[in-house]
Amino acid sequence: MKTNPGNFFEDFRLGQKLVHATPRTLTSGDAALYTALYGSRFALQSADGFAKALGLPRAPLDDLLVFHTIFGKTVPDISLNAVANLGYAEGRFLKPVYPGATLSAVSEVIGLKENSNRKTGVVYVRTEGFDETGDKVLSYVRWVMVNKRDASAVVGEAVVPKLEGVVPPAALQAPKADFTKLDTAASGSAHLWDDYAPGEKIDHVDGMTVEETEHMMATRLYQNTARVHFNQYTEGQGRFGRRLIYGGHVISLARALSFNGLGNAFTIAAINGGRHVNPLFAGDTVFAWSEVLDKAEIAGRKDCGALRLRLVATKNQPCADHPDKDADGNYPPSVILDFDYWAVLPRRA
């Protein structure tokens, strides 16, 4: 058989390395599409001149464009037979990526745990993304529930990796820029790292309605082949009766909305965790709010610091009152994303 049936749960082995197909050169064309898809307005990624004034060679690509591109490569090997994408952890952005870079991805299976129904199991992989020089640009763990081909197949002992709940501040990296040169008129926000305090909640106000074409164009741009996003013929007969929007599309939408309140949160240093707690469909309108969970210095840097942010996205519900999970940890149906990350912001001199 020459077509790829994808791996089933019993096909994975602990320690297995998967070299993913289709390296991808990201260009200014991809950057333009990213802007058209999300309307992101962070100045660092929008303007070469702004980036140069801070000492960078040019505007880097959006960190999430890099993330989605690496993630997309893993789908044919990891999650073609997935039931659900369960979570992310230990995401680290290690090097800014500029137009012209060619990215590739490798994953290692770091955990396997069959479910009690024996029909599915959870696969944990650490995925690493590299540029054409061999430098690692991104590393993250995700775990995903994957179907077994054969429920009766006997699998090994469960191994669940111990994962950091939060990427430690000492591991955070910021672009080699001089953020004291920041022009806040150009960036659109006067609020620096110093101005945010743990516990602070920010409603990002704006809403963005999603159409079928947009999420499919985005997901194809990332060469992500997960069938639930593209195939109305099959999905129309499935659980939701329609195509499901790629979770990464939701993260990018919420992050773009977060410009309004976090305009100087230029880069993502780390992803501590993330869960897609309800599905998003075309026609829904996405809103978002953020909570400052923590703040930390970045080793060797006085010009910038890190904010640990929780980015919550909703559908068809404005976020003035910060819709959230209840005391038992249950999310209302309007909440679709709970994403925990470290952002880098300039500091006051």
Task: Considering only residues 120 through 139, tell me which ones interact with a copy of itself, judged by CB under 8 A.
Answer: 132
Q: In this structure, what token pair is assigned to residue 192?
A: 């620096």
Burial of 99 (0-12, 13-18, 19+ CB in 10 A): middle
The yes or no reply on residue 32 touching a copy of itself (CB under 8 A) is yes
Task: Choose one: 38-46, 158-166, 171-179, 273-281; the region binding a copy of itself (CB under 8 A).
Answer: 38-46
Q: Output DSSP code: residue 159.
A: B
Q: Which stretch binds a copy of itself (CB under 8 A): 140-148, 159-167, 219-227, 335-343?
A: 219-227
Determine phi and psi for 293, rounding to 5 degrees. Answer: -90, -35
User: In the Cβ-directed half-sphere of 229, how many Cα atoms lie within 13 Å?
Assistant: 27
Closer residue to a copy of itself in complex, CB, 116/237: 237
Q: Which of residues 146-175 bind a copy of itself (CB under 8 A)?
A: none
Q: Which stretch binds a copy of itself (CB under 8 A): 25-33, 85-93, 116-124, 304-312?
A: 25-33
Which residues ranging from 282 to 301 are in contact with a copy of itself (CB under 8 A)?
283, 285, 287
Q: Please, what is the minimum distance in Å from the beta carbon of residue 203 to a copy of itself? A: 7
SS3 66: helix
Q: Determine the interface stretch with a copy of itself among 2-10, 84-92, 110-118, 149-157 (rule: CB under 8 A).
A: 2-10
Is 205 a binding residue for a copy of itself by CB under 8 A? The answer is yes
Closest CA to 262 of 172, 176, 155, 344: 344
Question: 301 to 320, contacts with a copy of itself by CB under 8 A?
Answer: 316, 318
Q: Does 213 bind a copy of itself (CB under 8 A)?
A: yes
Residue from 13, 36, 302, 349 touching a copy of itself (CB under 8 A): that is: 36
Distance CA 300, CA 343 (A): 16
DSSP per residue over 194-234, as a string?
Answer: GG--TT-EEE----EE--HHHHHHHHHHTT---GGGT-HHH
Tokens of 264: 């100087």
Residue 237 touching a copy of itself (CB under 8 A): no
Phi and psi dihedrals of 118, rounded to 5?
65, 5
Cβ of residue 160: shortest distance to a copy of itself, in angstroms? Answer: 28
Phi, psi of 218 (to 5 degrees): -60, -50
Tell me if 332 contacts a copy of itself by CB under 8 A: no
In a 13 Å sphere around the CA of 200, the CA atoms on its Cβ side amount to 16
Q: Which of 118, 119, 149, 227 binds a copy of itself (CB under 8 A)?
A: 227
- Is residue 35 a contact point for a copy of itself (CB under 8 A)? yes
Instruction: Using the minimum distance from each CB to a copy of itself, give the nearer residue, 87 or 188.
Output: 188
Least distance in angstroms from the C-beta of 139 to a copy of itself: 19
In the complex, what is the shortest distance from the CB of residue 236 to a copy of itself, in angstroms, rounded to a whole number?
9
Number of amino acids touching a copy of itself (CB under 8 A): 78
As a whole number of angstroms, the distance between CA 267 and CA 65 comes to: 12
Complex with a copy of itself: residue 207 or 274, whichever CB lies closer? 207
Cβ neighbours, 10 Å, residue 302: 11
Spatial CB neighbours of 332, under 8 Å, sequence gap ≥ 6: 323, 325, 326
Residues 82-121 that bind a copy of itself (CB under 8 A): 100, 102, 104
- Dig out the tokens for 105 from the structure: 């991805």
The residue range among 88-96, 117-125, 145-153, 183-191 that interacts with a copy of itself, by the rule CB under 8 A, is 183-191
How far is the C-alpha of 7 from the C-alpha of 205, rounded, in Å?
A: 42
Q: Is 209 in the site for a copy of itself (CB under 8 A)?
A: yes
Does the footprint of a copy of itself cover residue 29 (CB under 8 A)?
yes
Give the 3-state secondary structure of residue 127: strand
